[in-house]
Structure 1
Amino acid sequence: MKQLLIGVDQLINTVVWVKGDGFGYADETLSARAWRLRHQSNAWKRINLIFFWQQNHCQSAYQSEQSRRQLPPEYRKASASKL
């Protein structure tokens, strides 16, 4: 179920157009994108309010993207060796 929700989140991110950034990347969640663009918009603050039980939700989502935690374990190993 978690992977389904992440997939829906990524789909929403790809169809949302943001001035200065265009449409989102297919493999990025809306929360991670909001944190990446935190200097251009306060959207991350609104998203954090939705996920009130998670401290720093958008920042954590961004860090998860950077460490490739959304990928299957086999892909994470391959990505880490290329870094």
Structure 2
Amino acid sequence: MMRRYLYHIAIALDQLLNAALGGYADETLSSRAYRRASIADAKRRWRWAHKLIDGLFFWQAEHCKKSYEMEVLRRHLPVDFS
């Protein structure tokens, strides 16, 4: 129960940081970095951010990509919203 609570707090802080940096309010910074780095004319800062974030989460292979996929599939929502 506490683990799930802390996970939700971490997601909320991540989304807050992303929104404060000009991103969508309901998207994590990891997801945004992957999405922005994946476009053909991606700015260097997004490719750098993608690599940096993936490096910070070294124990999770392709962290940013998985974050993006979770956003698209809406996997971060509670089961009550299904």
TM over 0.5: yes
Normalised by the size of structure 2, how large is the TM-score?
0.81
Q: CA RMSD in A?
A: 0.8
Higher relative contact order (CA 8 A, sep 6+): 2
**Structure 1: runs of 5+ lacking an equivalent:** 17-22, 78-83
Q: Does 1:65 align with 2:64?
A: no
The amino acid that maps onto 1:14 is A
Identity %: 44
Which is helix-richer, 1 or 2? Answer: 2
In structure 2, the gaps of 5 or more residues are: 1-5
| Higher percent of residues as strand | 1
Tell me, in whole angstroms, the C-alpha distance in 2 between the residues paired with 1:26 and 1:70.
14
Q: Which 4+ stretches in 1 moved above 6 angstroms? A: none
TM alignment of 1:21-36, pairs within 5 A: 23-36=22-35
The C-alpha deviation readout for 1:20-73, integer Å capped at 9, x for no partner, is xxx111110000000110131211111100000000000000000011011111
Counting matched residue pairs gives: 70
